[in-house]
Chain A
């Protein structure tokens, strides 16, 4: 027993395949096989936080994560942030505020700090302290660490590292599929809502705002589906949206620039798209952040393509979104809806053009008139929506 197996993963952006003993935790695997000794080991039972690093864009304890459990994962250690503006700022702020002394806790502190800035743009000092409770420092007394994080929170550069959608959660809250779920509760009826129509359960995004729309497209369902199932093309139909690179499996990274009146917002984020070609429906879930307004957006969208009697098609859209940060104060649902409708009209026209073989409209960011920040939100939303989460 206990032979060695091979693990393939992406380590700081590079694909590696190496033997690992099943019993090696990720911290030992990195330190001993890769000499990436920036990951520190303190307690080895999850309490001190020194070994905290990112797996699939989320901070985890590498001392209680098995290396073999990271098959196909994306692992980012403190050594992997060379080109990351947010981490650069955190490093500077830590030095300026004396957020480190011996440095033993620092790699884990930086990982946690990065996560705080990215995930909790509105965190105040007590919240930062709460979040730091899982990272022990014997030297600094924490005050400098908290001050450094607060400083970066005032005007953070966008986070390059974002969570990768988790593997296989079938039948999630966004549940347009009429297939019976294996976990159906006994004796309770399943809600009929959602059968036949794209439907989004608002539970998917807590406090989310719901929006449903139908988008007519003057082309046959076959042709529209051909466009919809080609993600880069769909993205090119969204004003201001661009992909950062080719889609990786179901995951997309990209950005959407929105110019609304004098305001500009540039959302950057990831989305995950899943398509059901047989049923001609799909699901998109995404999240992004605008570094300028320090606002975040998350959204989920279900869409279904329906034939129309006149030979054309209709895309039924149901989405839920939530804005966080300063934009949220502006993003009142009615306003977002209005802007979303304008944007959808443009997207609809572009999709029609594509589906009927006409050239697509140029995809440069065009100023949309309307309420400033708001628009940005909506756009991002949609783009996210259409582009997939």
Chain B
């Protein structure tokens, strides 16, 4: 099938994009790797697309002592290839390399993926595990949104109709921090059926356990300490957090969390 007709403009910079998006009728497009299929299937029928993939502000990278800020239009492949700094010393690169296929990673972007908010997507769960912050700009100016407040439902985010995701600020883990990320997909390059991310950063006091591909935004579990220390089992934690779901619907997620925890603990011992 072919997309329904639409207008297209490539924005030159952020203020140009903001002007083109004013009114809320136009939709941003970045790598078109999620929007493209939806257009072809006519699942999406925007009247106008505003291409934000070359905006200097969205292609920027900034490093500070505490964090690395990656522009929303940085591609998965650029992260995979280490063309941009990875504050985690390789966790981002590894996650990027397992998204879709190289030809998709060459166009698909970090910001497009987060804004698309597919519950099974990689960046959403990875950034939730890392405690990242979304930097958003719209008619009311710039604001910061904690990543766990960014996705509010499947394919729904906290972005207003005229707002753009400009960048993602990823905090640098402290010395000795370790990480576990486990994604179950039936085939290389597919979206996850279940996923989990665990951050064990004692120096900065950040312990985070997140579970993804639940058909809803990532679940940030309330007692990471108990899970990491082994006082609470992954199955019990998931049952308590999602009491409405039958246990058999969570088997893969329990496995994902168990493995991500083991990876993170192993990483800590390995240091």
Determine if chain A interacts with chain B.
Answer: yes
A67-83 near B? 1/0 per residue, CB < 8 Å: 01101000000000000
Interface segment out of the listed A142-150, A202-210, A214-222: A202-210
Minimum C-beta distance from B102 to chain A (A): 6
- Smallest CB separation, B79 vs chain A (Å): 10
Q: Is there a chain B Cβ closer than 8 Å to A310's Cβ? A: no
- B36-48 vs A, CB cutoff 8 Å, 1 = contact: the mask equals 1101110000011
B15 to chain A, nearest CB (A): 12
The segment from B62-70, B152-160, B174-182, B238-246 found at the interface with A is B62-70
User: B57-99: contact bitstring with A at CB < 8 Å (1 yes, 0 no)?
Assistant: 1011111111101010011011001111110001001000000
Residue in B32, B40, B56, B66 whose CB lies within 8 Å of A69: B32
Q: Is the CB of B103 within 8 A of A190?
A: no
Asked if B64 and A134 sit within 8 Å, CB to CB, the answer is no
The 9 closest A-B pairs by CB, nearest first: A134-B101, A64-B36, A206-B82, A2-B5, A203-B85, A45-B37, A22-B8, A133-B188, A188-B64
Q: List 11 A-B contacts (CB under 8 A).
A: A1-B7, A2-B7, A65-B107, A68-B10, A168-B56, A169-B61, A169-B84, A170-B59, A173-B61, A173-B83, A182-B57
Residue among B33, B66, B84, B103 with the highest chain A CB neighbour number at 10 A: B103
Q: Which residue of A lies closest to B98 (CB)?
A: A130
Q: Is A265 an interface residue (CB 8 A)?
A: no
Nearest-neighbour CB distance to chain A for B65, whole angstroms, equals: 5
Say whether B140 faces chain A, with CB atoms less than 8 Å apart.
no
Instruction: Determine if B3 is an interface residue (Cβ-Cβ < 8 Å).
Output: yes
Name the contact of A183 in the complex, choosing from B60, B86, B102 (C-beta under 8 A): B60
Q: Is A345 an interface residue (CB 8 A)?
A: no
List, in ascending order, chain B residues with CB within 8 A of A359's CB. none
Number of interface residues of B (CB under 8 A): 63
Instruction: Check if A172 is an interface residue, CB within 8 A of chain B.
Output: yes
**Contacting residues, chain A, for B106 (C-beta < 8 A):** 55, 58-60
Other-chain residue from B6, B66, B77, B93 in contact with A23 (beta carbon distance below 8 A) = B6
How close is A183's CB to chain B, nearest CB, in angstroms?
Answer: 4
Given A1-B6, A46-B37, A167-B59, verify A188-B67 contact (CB < 8 Å): yes
Interface centre among A55, A64, A66 (most CB of B within 10 A): A64
- In chain B, residues 8-61, which have Cβ atoms closer than 8 Å to a Cβ of chain A? 8, 10, 29, 32-33, 36-37, 39-41, 47-49, 51, 53-54, 56-57, 59-61
**Contacting residues of chain A (273-316) with chain B, CB-CB under 8 angstroms:** none
B1 located at the interface, meaning its Cβ lies under 8 Å from any Cβ of chain A in the complex: yes
In the complex with contacts A59-B102, A169-B74, A191-B63 CB distance below 8 A: yes
